[in-house]
């Protein structure tokens, strides 16, 4: 894999590799500190700030933020522990993510197919408008969209949190249109000659042909929605619907006066990271390449 | 991002129209296919943009019906010291945040290109970008905690600190910028890396035969040929940076003493803490116009549309 310029200069190569490794450690160290803290006994954080490994390692922090600890456990009576039902928040994030991803990908695929493969008046203009929509800052949209949700009576509901993302995002349509444009036309022509209608071509040829791209977009959108904070924070602050990021934020502001419940907070943080970490571990190449694509064109 | 007119568009089932009054069936199906997306675009992008402009000309606390007040909100904005202070703080934040992100991203991309093209390395560097802003803020809020944080404990070994990074009037904004640089550098590097892959190898080959040093090659080949990528990264990251909110909501909440009161935080405070929908909308519209101007200037200066590659 070495290019000629690096192999001709082994020291340059070694220094470069060392810098890469140091930067990788910097990227991951804060995450490791969170993992360490989540496994540390709450009483031990005062004496283990500089340690890289958990002191008096325990699973108790995870149990208590998930509401799985024995209510009679004496450790629950300790002062400074926050109150949170993080299991509920994780479930809410799962519901929210599903309610956005499934319809968004489906409707975006339909629109992307029309933009890539069908001819109709206004096609280029509408597509151009969609793309310029990416330039409208969220800072302009959040007030009118919030008011709309209030008027619909959708505050503190899942449909209110999901609605703005569920029908389309400009990025999804752009991404899928590029994929559809890249397919050879012969397949569709053949199907068309055989008398297949547009619906058949879309469902029986296009979608199955592009399961890879659809899966990639599903992963990217799922990560983005799992992480989403601002809109759910405006719409869904009720503990019954609050998602992971909103729950962590309100859990941390609970203890604004005293020392925050750091071990509990880090247990929540680690739980919030796990789904993303799993996707990155199992689909790393797909995630990396699709993000490269998203900025490359 | 521009749609090139030369892009091949294949037409399925398009039969020539038989008469002026008979609409092609394909067209109806096509409109049905884009209908949900168009609906979403109208309801959540286009109409709210116009509604924000309308609200900006009203006095409205959401309880009464909005009262149209003409330019009053814009007049107020011009004389609002806090508004200009927020714009200034946001500009400072962008200046603290963007250059390090571009430089580190570029260095990392060149290292990845030259030393290791492995996907594992790239996904490690991408990891911070894939975490929620709230989680990233919590990670650093904890690591940099003055009493119990790992970062301050390490500084203590060198006799420094403890430093209240998020709670210091001088450091809070810099700290937030550094946190977001940490989150975005891997992502920026990935985009630059893709741009580097697109530079043909024989350009470097020719430069080496001419005796150009690696540094000279970087300045005279890599940077100019990477210009479209740099322009794209710069425009999108500047637009994003101007709208910093999440990290501030989780850590400093605009403090200490308004040191991190960025523009979106100030808009949010006006809209939701003070229920001044009209005034908040007016500020968001001004921010929008400001971002359009900044983006156009950047694209103009960097000639983002054209490539030097023939």
Q: In this predicted model, what pLDDT tens digit does every residue of A203-248 receive, in sequence order?
A: 988 999 999 999 999 999 999 999 999 999 999 999 999 999 999 9
pLDDT per residue as tens digits for the range A158-170: 999 999 999 999 9
| pLDDT band for position A44 (cuts 50, 70, 90) | confident
One domain, residues B195 and B54: no
One domain, residues A262 and A281: yes
- Domain boundary (A48, A77, A106) is at A77
Å between A250 CA and nearest CA of chain B: 9
Of residues B25 and A121, more confidence is placed in A121
One domain, residues A66 and A166: no
**Ramachandran quadrant class, A102 (left: phi over 0; alpha: psi -120 to 50; beta: rest):** alpha
Specify the number of domains making up chain A.
2
B18 in any annotated domain:
no
Å between B293 CA and nearest CA of chain A: 12
The whole-angstrom separation of Cα A119 and Cα B24 is 10
One domain, residues A53 and A91: no
Domain CATH number, residue B80: 1.10.3720.10
| pLDDT band for position A11 (cuts 50, 70, 90) | confident
B233 in any annotated domain:
yes
Averaged pLDDT score across all residues of chain A: 89
Nearest CB to B7: which of A23, A181, A229?
Answer: A181
How many other C-beta atoms are found inside a 10 Å radius of the C-beta of residue B144? 25
pLDDT number for residue B17:
46
Nearest chain B alpha carbon to A144: B48
Going by the DSSP 8-state scheme, the letter that residue B7 receives in this structure is S
One domain, residues B218 and B250: yes
CA neighbor of A223 nearest in space, from A167, A157, A128, A291: A291
Domain that holds residue A64: 4-77
Residue B12 has pLDDT above 50, yes or no: no
One domain, residues A35 and A111: no
Specify the number of domains making up chain B.
2
One domain, residues A57 and A125: no
pLDDT number for residue B126:
93
Residue B67 has pLDDT above 80, yes or no: yes
One domain, residues B177 and B274: yes
B38 in any annotated domain:
yes
B5 in any annotated domain:
no
pLDDT per residue as tens digits for the range B143-182: 999 989 999 999 999 999 789 999 999 999 999 999 999 9
Q: Average the pLDDT over B241-248 and give the result.
A: 96
Domain that holds residue B160: 74-301
CB within 8 Å: A288 and B123: yes
CB within 8 Å: A287 and B123: yes
Residues 210-239 of A with CB under 8 A from B: 223, 226-230, 233-234
One domain, residues B61 and B96: no
One domain, residues A73 and A123: no
Domain CATH number, residue A125: 1.10.3720.10
Q: Average the pLDDT over A148-174 and give the result.
A: 95
One domain, residues B62 and B94: no
A287 neighbors B126 (Cβ within 8 angstroms)? yes
Best B103, B128, B142, B265 member to test A by mutation, with max A CBs in 10 Å, is B142
pLDDT number for residue B274:
92
Residue A2 has pLDDT above 80, yes or no: no
One domain, residues A109 and A52: no
User: Reduced to 3 states, what is the DSSP secondary structure of residue B59?
Assistant: strand
Contact residues, chain A, for B41 at CB < 8 Å: 129-130, 133, 167-168
Best B134, B195, B251 member to test A by mutation, with max A CBs in 10 Å, is B134
| pLDDT band for position B22 (cuts 50, 70, 90) | low
pTM equals 0.91
B214 in any annotated domain:
yes
DSSP states of A79-123 as a string? Answer: TT-----HHHHHHHHHHHHHHHHHHHHHHHHHHHHHHHH---TTH
B307 in any annotated domain:
no
One domain, residues A41 and A127: no
Q: Average the pLDDT over B245-255 and give the result.
A: 94
Nearest CB to A269: which of B43, B139, B287?
Answer: B139
B246 neighbors B263 (Cβ within 8 angstroms)? no
Extract the runs of DSSP E, i.e. beta strands, from B212-259: none
One domain, residues B205 and B231: yes
One domain, residues A165 and A41: no
Residues 126-185 of A with CB under 8 A from B: 126-131, 133-141, 143-148, 150, 163-164, 166-168, 173-174, 181, 185
One domain, residues A99 and A72: no
pLDDT number for residue A13:
86
One domain, residues A138 and A222: yes
One domain, residues B244 and B283: yes
CA neighbor of A106 nearest in space, from A58, A169, A185: A169
Q: Average the pLDDT over B94-115 and give the result.
A: 94
User: Reduced to 3 states, what is the DSSP secondary structure of residue B65?
Assistant: coil
């Amino acid at each position: 894999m070495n290019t000629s310029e690096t192999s001709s200069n082994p020291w340059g190569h070694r220094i470069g590799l060392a810098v890469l490794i140091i930067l990788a450690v910097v990227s991951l160290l804060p995450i490791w500190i969170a993992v360490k803290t989540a496994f540390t006994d709450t009483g031990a954080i005062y004496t283990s700030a500089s340690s890289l490994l958990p002191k008096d390692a325990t699973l108790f922090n995870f149990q208590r933020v998930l509401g799985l600890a024995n209510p009679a456990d004496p450790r629950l009576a300790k002062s400074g522990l926050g109150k949170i039902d993080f299991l509920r928040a994780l479930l809410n994030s799962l519901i929210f993510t599903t309610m956005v991803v499934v319809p968004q990908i489906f409707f975006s695929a339909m629109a992307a197919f029309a933009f890539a493969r069908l001819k109709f008046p206004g096609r280029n203009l509408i597509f151009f408008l969609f793309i310029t929509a990416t330039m409208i800052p969220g800072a302009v949209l959040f007030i009118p969209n919030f008011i709309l949700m209030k008027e619909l009576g959708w505050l503190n509901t899942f449909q209110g949190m999901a609605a703005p993302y569920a029908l389309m995002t400009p990025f999804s349509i752009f991404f899928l249109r590029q994929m559809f444009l890249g397919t050879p036309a012969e397949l569709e022509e053949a199907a068309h000659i055989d008398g297949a209608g547009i619906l058949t071509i879309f469902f029986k040829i296009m979608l199955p042909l592009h399961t890879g791209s659809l899966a990639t977009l599903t992963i990217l959108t799922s990560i983005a929605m799992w992480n989403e904070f601002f809109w759910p924070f405006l719409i869904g602050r009720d503990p019954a619907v609050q998602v992971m990021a909103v729950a962590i934020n309100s859990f941390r502001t609970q203890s604004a006066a005293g020392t925050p419940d750091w071990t509990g907070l880090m247990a929540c943080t680690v739980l919030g990271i796990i789904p993303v970490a799993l996707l990155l571990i199992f689909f790393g190449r797909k995630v990396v390449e699709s993000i490269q694509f998203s900025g490359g064109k | 991002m521009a749609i090139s007119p030369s892009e091949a568009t294949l037409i399925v089932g398009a039969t020539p129209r038989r008469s002026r009054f008979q609409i092609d069936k394909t067209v109806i199906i096509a409109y049905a296919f884009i209908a949900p997306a168009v609906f979403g675009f109208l309801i959540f992008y286009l109409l709210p943009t116009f509604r924000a402009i309308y609200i900006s000309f009203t006095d409205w606390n959401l309880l009464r019906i909005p009262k149209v007040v003409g330019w009053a909100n814009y007049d107020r904005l011009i004389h609002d010291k806090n508004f200009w202070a927020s714009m200034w703080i946001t500009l400072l934040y962008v200046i603290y945040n963007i250059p390090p992100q571009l430089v580190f991203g570029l260095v990392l991309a060149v290292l990845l290109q030259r030393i290791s093209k492995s996907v594992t390395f790239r996904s490690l560097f991408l990891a911070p970008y894939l975490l929620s802003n709230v989680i990233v803020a919590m990670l650093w809020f904890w690591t940099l905690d003055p009493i119990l944080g790992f970062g301050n404990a390490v500084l203590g070994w060198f006799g420094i600190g403890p430093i209240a990074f998020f709670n210091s009037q001088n450091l809070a904004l810099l700290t937030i910028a550094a946190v977001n640089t940490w989150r975005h550098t891997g992502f920026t590097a990935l985009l630059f890396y893709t741009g580097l892959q697109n530079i043909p190898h024989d350009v470097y080959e020719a430069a080496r035969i001419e005796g150009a040093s690696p540094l000279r090659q970087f300045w005279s080949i890599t940077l100019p040929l990477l210009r479209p990528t740099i322009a794209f990264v710069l425009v999108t990251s500047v637009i994003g940076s101007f709208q910093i909110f999440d990290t501030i909501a989780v850590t400093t909440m605009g403090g200490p003493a308004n040191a991190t009161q960025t523009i979106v935080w100030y808009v949010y405070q006006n809209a939701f803490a003070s229920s001044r929908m009209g005034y908040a909308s007016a500020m968001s519209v001004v921010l929008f116009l400001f971002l359009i101007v900044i983006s156009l200037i950047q694209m103009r200066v960097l000639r983002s549309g054209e490539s030097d590659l023939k």
